[in-house]
Chain A
Amino acid sequence: MRRSSTRKTQPTSTTSSASSKAVVKELERVDQLFYSYANKSSGVIDPEGIESLCSDVGVDYTNVRILMLAWKMKAEKQGYFTLDEWRKGLKALKVDNVSKLKKALPDLEKEVRTPENFTDFYSFAFQYCLTEEKQKNIDIESCCELLNLVLRTKFCAQVDSFIEYLNYQCDYKVINMDQWMGFLRFCNEISFPDFTNYDEDLAWPLILDNFVEWIREKQAKT
Chain B
Amino acid sequence: MSMVDKKVIDLDQGWDFMQKGITKLIKILEGLPEPQFNSEDYMMLYTTIYNMCTQKPPNDYSQQLYDKYKEAFQEYIRTSVRFKVCYVDLFVCFTIMILPCLREKHDEFLLIELVKRWANHKVMVRWLSRFFHYLDRYFIARRSLPALKDVGLTCFRDLVYQELNVKVKDAVIALIEQEREGEQIDRALLKNVLDIFVEIGMGQMDCYENDFETAMLKDTGAYYSRKASNWIEEDSCPDYMLKAEECLKREKDRVSHYLHFSSEQKLLERVQHELLTVYTQQLLEKEHSGCFALLRDDKVEDLSRMYRLFSKIPRGLDPVSGMFKQHVTADGTALVKQAEDAASNKKAEKRDMAGLHEQVFVKKVLELHDRKKLARRLLFDKSANDDHERSILTKLKQQCGGQFTSKMEGMVTDLTLARENQTHFEEYLNNNPHVNPGIDLTVTVLTTGFWPSYKSFDLNLPAEMVKCVEVFKEFYQTKTKHRKLTWIYSLGTCNVNGKFGAKNFELIVTTYQASLLLLFNTADRLSYSDIKGQLNLTDDDVIRLLHSLACAKYKILNKEPNTKTILPTDTFEFNAKFTDKMRRIKIPLPPVDEKKKVIEDVDKDRRYAIDASIVRIMKSRKVLGHQQLVMECVEQLSRMFKPDFKAIKKRIEDLITRDYLERDKENPNLYKYLA
By a beta-carbon cutoff of 8 Å, the part of chain A in contact with chain B is 136-137, 176, 178-179, 182, 185, 201-203, 205-206, 209
Contacts and interface: CB of A to CB of B under 8 A. Distances in A.
Given A178-B663, A201-B627, A206 B669 contact: no
Contacts of A209: 646, 649
Contact of B668 (A137, A176, A182): A182
B585 interface: no
Interface string B647-672: 00110110011000001000011110
Contacts, number: 35
Given A185-B668, A203-B625, A206-B653, 13 more contacts: A137-B657, A176-B653, A176-B657, A178-B653, A202-B669, A203-B649, A203-B669, A203-B671, A205-B649, A205-B653, A206-B646, A206-B650, A209-B649
B626 interface: yes
Interface residues of B, number: 17
27 contacts: A137-B657, A176-B653, A176-B657, A178-B653, A178-B656, A178-B657, A179-B653, A201-B626, A201-B627, A201-B630, A201-B645, A202-B626, A202-B627, A202-B669, A203-B625, A203-B626, A203-B663, A203-B669, A203-B670, A203-B671, A205-B649, A205-B653, A206-B646, A206-B649, A206-B650, A206-B653, A209-B646
Nearest to A182: B668
Among B630, B652, B668, residue most surrounded by chain A Cβ atoms (within 10 Å): B668
Nearest to A203: B626
A125 B285 CA distance: 60
Contacts of B627: 201-202
Contacts of A206: 646, 649-650, 653
Nearest to A177: B657
Contacts of B668: 182, 185, 203
A182 B656 CA distance: 13
Contacts of B656: 178
Interface of B: 625-627, 630, 645-646, 649-650, 652-653, 656-657, 663, 668-671
Contacts of A201: 626-627, 630, 645
Contacts of B625: 203
**Residue from A178, A179, A203 with most neighbouring chain B CB atoms (10 Å):** A203
A175 to B, nearest CB: 11
A136 B657 contact: yes
A203 B664 CA distance: 11
A211 B347 CA distance: 30
A133 to B, nearest CB: 16
A176 B657 CA distance: 8
A202 to B, nearest CB: 5
Contacts of B671: 203
Contacts of B645: 201
A187 B670 CA distance: 19
A196 B669 CA distance: 18
Most chain A beta-carbon neighbours within 10 Å: one of B626, B646, B653: B653
A137 B658 CA distance: 12
Nearest to A201: B627
B421 to A, nearest CB: 47
B625 to A, nearest CB: 8
B651 to A, nearest CB: 10
Contacts of A202: 626-627, 669
A179 B657 CA distance: 10
A65 B626 CA distance: 37
A217 to B, nearest CB: 16
B486 to A, nearest CB: 34
Contacts of A179: 653
Contacts of B652: 203
Contacts of A176: 653, 657
Nearest to A205: B653
B298 to A, nearest CB: 21
A194 B653 CA distance: 26
A178 B656 CA distance: 8
Which of the listed residues A176, A206, A209 has the most CB atoms from chain B within 10 Å of its own CB? A206
A64 B135 CA distance: 110
A179 B656 CA distance: 11
Give the top 5 A-B pairs by smallest Cβ distance, nearest first: A203-B626, A203-B669, A206-B649, A178-B656, A206-B650
A176 to B, nearest CB: 5
B110 to A, nearest CB: 58
Contacts of A136: 657
A206 B650 CA distance: 6
A209 B650 CA distance: 11
